[in-house]
């Protein structure tokens, strides 16, 4: 069984700040991490590897530094690392990204299963995984919370807003993983040392001749982020004082009455 996992190097959103003048993300000095949902996807692949002897390839698109995310995935147990990197791919939206990644996947050969995180924490669009499936013409199940392999089919528990749905899908297929799918394992120190000495295979635009230059990068992106901003604060909280719960409740009711809020 051959499994491919798409991963993305993203800024650690707990460290992100927004420039109040330009309304853009301040990325300088912000550490990069492997997208957390992609780790759930990788863990699912590694569990299948442990059980059935699958071969796991991790694929990422980004600048050269994204190779570090792939090395972390290798340290967790992946077998092969591939980076898709070229200036022509810069500024890509989800459509251009999925188009480029799908071409890279075709160039790497056939896979029985493709796994992605449900979304990246820096964009939260949840679009790239499903778009890759559409480009490749294979079935997809999003928000996978449980996976069972049965010969040439998968039984997937799909997480919905207020329920779960069981879906059977034939391989090859693409799944996107949610956090509840599993608990990602920690990187192995020995494999981490090996990864640091390994060269990551890189695919450029020249290695993917089927690509249409008009559909790449910023030029091939029909959507643009116009502005990133912090929502304005319209009101402030009020601390309700009182020597005990009864007095606090009375003071709260008084404040609500003054604000003409009734129940």
Question: Do 205 and 250 belong to one domain?
Answer: no
User: At 168, which CATH number?
Assistant: 3.40.50.620
228 belongs to a structural domain: no
**Mean pLDDT score, 112-130:** 95
Residue 250 domain boundaries: 237-263
Number of structural domains found in the chain:
2
Do 257 and 209 lie in one domain? The reply is no
254 with 179, same domain: the answer is no
220/135 Cα distance (integer angstroms): 15
Query: Residue 256 domain-assigned?
Result: yes
- The yes-or-no verdict on residue 251 having pLDDT over 80 is yes
Q: DSSP strand E in the chain: where? A: 2-6, 9-11, 17-18, 25-26, 32-34, 55-61, 80-84, 113-117, 140-150, 153-159, 164-170, 173-177, 201-203
Is 119 found in the same domain as 19? yes
Average pLDDT over residues 129-156: 97
Statement to judge: residues 210 and 241 lie in one domain: no
pLDDT band of residue 23 (cuts 50, 70, 90) is low
d(CA 219, CA 130): 22
Nearest CA among 148, 85, 81 for reference residue 113 = 148
pLDDT band at residue 263 using 50, 70 and 90 as cut-offs = low
The predicted model scores a pTM of 0.84
Q: Are 31 and 6 in contact (CB under 8 A)?
A: no
Q: Quick one: average pLDDT of 185-197?
A: 96
Question: Do 187 and 72 belong to one domain?
Answer: yes
- Residue 205 forms part of a structural domain: yes
Does 227 map to a domain?
no
Q: Is residue 221 part of a domain?
A: no
Tokens standing for residue 232: 């304005």
Q: What's the mean pLDDT in 26-34?
A: 82
User: pLDDT above 70 covers what percent of the chain?
Assistant: 97
For residues 157 and 35, membership in a common domain is answered with: yes
Does the structure show a pLDDT above 70 at 177?
yes
């Amino acid at each position: 069984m051959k499994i491919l996992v798409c991963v993305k190097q993203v800024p650690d959103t707990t460290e992100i700040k927004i420039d109040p003048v330009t309304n853009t993300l301040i990325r300088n000095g912000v550490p990069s991490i492997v997208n957390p949902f992609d780790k759930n996807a990788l863990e699912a692949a590694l569990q299948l590897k442990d059980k059935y002897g699958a071969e796991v390839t991790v694929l990422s698109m980004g600048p050269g530094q994204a190779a570090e995310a792939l090395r972390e995935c290798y340290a967790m147990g992946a077998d092969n690392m591939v980076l898709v990197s070229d200036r022509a791919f810069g500024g890509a939206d989800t459509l251009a990204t999925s188009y480029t990644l799908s071409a890279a996947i075709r160039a790497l050969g056939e896979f029985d299963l493709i796994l992605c995180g449900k979304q990246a924490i820096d964009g939260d669009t949840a679009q790239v995984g499903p778009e890759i499936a559409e480009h490749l013409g294979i079935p997809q199940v999003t928000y996978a919370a449980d996976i069972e392999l049965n010969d040439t089919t998968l039984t997937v528990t799909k997480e919905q807003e207020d329920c779960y749905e069981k879906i059977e899908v034939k391989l090859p297929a693409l799944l996107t993983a949610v956090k509840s799918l599993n608990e990602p394992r920690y990187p192995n120190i020995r494999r981490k040392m090996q990864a640091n000495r390994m060269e990551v295979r890189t695919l450029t635009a020249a290695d993917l001749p089927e690509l249409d230059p008009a559909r790449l990068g910023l030029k091939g992106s029909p959507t643009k982020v116009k502005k990133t901003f912090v929502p304005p604060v319209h009101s402030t909280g009020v601390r309700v004082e009182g020597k005990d719960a009864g007095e606090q409740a009375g003071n709260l009711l008084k404040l609500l009455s003054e604000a003409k809020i009734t129940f």
